[in-house]
Structure 1
């Protein structure tokens, strides 16, 4: 007896192979058979006529480290077809906790949408145990983040790591990799890792390479310094031999439009020379980040509390404001998306608009927000090029990663006006960049969402649809799938999703989350 039969659909197996008409049989947690299964008895059948049946999407770049503990149903992720997420990206993470716990939590304020979530762990096994106890609806793999590694070994100051401190970081990272972490990530715009020298990055890369794991890079600059930042990542990849993933490749600011094509040439040259390098991208022309990312490194030294105190000083504010006069983006394309106290009169408005209302300068508004709320202030920032996005999406080394979070619009993580990618990244890809004339091939787009990111993250057996594979499956209408989340009203689920299975169990059917929480915590052996 088949437990579940997905009948009458068109199967895209995630490898890029051509679609074929087939039924999919699920028994227990695994795919039992794929083919013409008419007449086979099944305890339950999902009619997939007119639908495509694919592996569930593997979101290689998320920041759901803490939101899954607040809302383990993972509503905004699983309802768009995501069945596996990778957390710990951009150097922002929650383990190891070997430094001042409060300071580390403040440094990771971007992740911290629900202050009621308790940090009871000190290392990766403890954090993964907390995730297991939460029983998420999606599978979760974790990267080890650079910020907690550096905080544990060096602290929050602006200085290079010494030899003993590099050994300490390597040891902590090695322990976490041995405990099943999928790799390591850095985020070179964030304090304190913005103070890291290249020898420190090479130390992390060599440790990752020794374990056969991924090194994911939020590079040092996505604006005027994008090309030099990509060159640094490629130098470390070449020197260490580590599998390297450049995160959310984009160019910020009109004066930098076209830089993505040149960055892709650098990546192509490195790949031709033997480096294992790829990148992820999401289908939007705006990003999401802490407002503190716009501060110079010197203003962030010492951690959040010293930063906030520093920003109350007149000479410091004048110096920061002077530097902001040549920003690649203007304040009218930078929208406040979240503040820790949930102030509705601030969120959803541009910094320029807030300044006009207050009769003051936008820089003053931004500095006041940072002084009051620190790293918890989030922004959505535009200023990107459609041509750059298309160049990235269509590149063979590109995979899709939302850079979003699993959010619950009716829970604590639903506050503010988040980036719509958390609700609509994957449906938007198919609606806007596959269905358009001359767009991405459907099978190739599915590959970029499934087997390709799973391979980058080292998640063996995930992201493919074949007999014996874990039955993480998405069923959707390729003519109807579309994002409904917008920048003005982001907390809306997509259209066109027929069903989402995680480990053989239906979690979403016809857009409704049924409450199942069968996700696994994935440990890399």
Structure 2
């Protein structure tokens, strides 16, 4: 039993802050108020600090890194107590009999930072059971990844599923949702989802809608075709009634700055008609992705074979495609490769100077050597766009990062600092004067989107996933030069009532729960 005494309580609902004590007992919030009976409780003086719910990160890629290091240090140190994995259509289950597991694992290599992590499961329930046996320091829920569904059923070619295959796709999705997945995610820039037709999206959305769960979209384009890509997601929501989340909304490339306002107008119009459509974003001007995401879909048909990229004709096709990309090579930095090659931390343009070659040839050589294993950090975004999205009433904050260990295999390379500082950065730089509303964007509101109705709230009876932070001190310290630094201003993190971080030190506790969403929101 623990009494957090003398703090300012912000309960996650956007209600005004109040001065109160918080009593934690048996893993739950037992009471909030003054003069609480705390006999036998460990008392912690939190005077001058804010006590709020732990942050609920609904857009993460920690599917496998939580198995590589269940302590989840980069996340718990920034106050995250619940992660939702399976985003952008990328994930690790279901894997029905007969599917090409090796090809699927290669296709989601963005998640696969530790080759020693085994994949013993066949379905979502088996994956969640594997997490339960670990267990992690954070709570975990999962979406159903569209890429795995599609690849396991249709394969990697440019074709639509036949009627029997579409039935199988929908059956796999239904089983996974019924096993407790929080919803469905797609990522239409990742092969083979680059070949997904609208009929397939409609069918999967209908299955998801029937269960009241959410459909999260990494839309087809965030650069020149951002607006029609968001329109596609909105149109599917209109046709099926599915609750919809537009992931990490941003406009990439200077020529596209300002188009987020047009994308948000589409969201607003649908919301005015009664459709439940939300948005999330991380508070940075750079993204993180596989370099292979920049390849034309035709080169990735039937899976990306790095050997194809030494073919002069293929290289010419790729170079022609890249001639129209909205980013320059000076805006694209190599953040990770599978070995210790001295390329991480350099832009493609810098590597071209070092190697006395053309930048596109450098990029093609990296892809020919490492395939989907080359990760990049890419810029080309606008501060005004970011503030426009963050200020929208439908927006919540989500990292799009991973639970990383700066001292282990998952911490290799030069990762995006959002994995270490997303939520402190938002609160210190973008929250504005209304701290309760800002905290709601990080807690109860994302939890509700995922159907996690007992998370992201500080109220009697709720699980005691809590953060004690100092508003005047909280800040991110991780940047692109030194991305693996923990934030300042977080005194205490509890997960299920158990201290996980105390004064900047991980306790080694792993009290996280696997969260299965049985009932959706209708």
TM-score range, shorter chain: over 0.9
CA distance 1:440–1:270, change in 2 (3 Å): farther
- For residue 40 of structure 1, report the CA deviation from its aligned partner: 3.0
Would the aligned equivalents of 2:290 and 2:375 in 1 still touch at CA under 8 Å? yes
The answer to whether 1:140 aligns with 2:140 is yes
Aligned to 1:423: 420
Structure 2: gaps of 5 or more residues = none
Aligned to 2:492: 499
Aligned to 2:49: 51
> With structure 1 as the length reference, what TM-score do the two structures score?
0.97
Aligned length, in residue pairs: 516
Aligned to 1:252: 252
CA distance 1:329–1:145, change in 2 (3 Å): same
Aligned to 1:309: 307
What secondary structure does 1:165 align onto?
Answer: helix
Among 397, 400, 406, which residue is 1:400 paired with?
397
Aligned to 2:325: 327
Would the aligned equivalents of 1:5 and 1:42 in 2 still touch at CA under 8 Å? no
**Mean Cα deviation higher: 318-327 or 443-452:** 318-327
1:386-445 CA-to-partner distances (Å, cap 9, x unmatched) read 0000000011100011000000011110100000000000000111113xxxx2521111
Map residues 174-189 of structure 1 onto 2, 5 A cutoff.
Answer: 174-189=174-189
- For residue 323 of structure 1, report the CA deviation from its aligned partner: 1.3
1:250-300 CA-to-partner distances (Å, cap 9, x unmatched) read 000000000111111110001001111001100000000010110111111
The answer to whether 1:82 aligns with 2:56 is no
What secondary structure does 2:157 align onto?
Answer: coil
Map residues 435-450 of structure 1 onto 2, 5 A cutoff.
Answer: 439=432, 441-450=434-443
- For residue 38 of structure 1, report the CA deviation from its aligned partner: 5.5
Would the aligned equivalents of 2:23 and 2:36 in 1 still touch at CA under 8 Å? no
CA distance in 1, matches of 2:125, 2:451: 19
Aligned to 1:231: 231
Aligned to 1:354: 351
1:151-200 CA-to-partner distances (Å, cap 9, x unmatched) read 11100111111111111100000010111000110000000011000010
The answer to whether 1:388 aligns with 2:385 is yes
Would the aligned equivalents of 1:433 and 1:440 in 2 still touch at CA under 8 Å? no
- For residue 37 of structure 1, report the CA deviation from its aligned partner: 3.0
Would the aligned equivalents of 1:31 and 1:467 in 2 still touch at CA under 8 Å? yes
Among 48, 68, 71, which residue is 1:70 paired with?
68
What secondary structure does 1:274 align onto?
Answer: coil
The answer to whether 1:241 aligns with 2:241 is yes
What secondary structure does 2:143 align onto?
Answer: strand
Aligned to 1:220: 220
- For residue 42 of structure 1, report the CA deviation from its aligned partner: 4.0
What secondary structure does 2:441 align onto?
Answer: helix
What secondary structure does 1:449 align onto?
Answer: coil
1:323-353 CA-to-partner distances (Å, cap 9, x unmatched) read 111210101010000111132x100110000
Structure 1: gaps of 5 or more residues = none
CA distance in 2, matches of 1:189, 1:450: 29
- For residue 129 of structure 1, report the CA deviation from its aligned partner: 1.0
CA distance in 1, matches of 2:370, 2:513: 35
CA distance in 2, matches of 1:368, 1:445: 44
Aligned to 2:270: 270
* Structure 1 segments of 4+ aligned residues over 6 angstroms from their partners: none
1:454-483 CA-to-partner distances (Å, cap 9, x unmatched) read 000011211100001110001100000000
- For residue 39 of structure 1, report the CA deviation from its aligned partner: 6.2
- For residue 43 of structure 1, report the CA deviation from its aligned partner: 2.5
The answer to whether 1:379 aligns with 2:372 is no
The answer to whether 1:363 aligns with 2:360 is yes
**Mean Cα deviation higher: 156-165 or 345-354:** 156-165
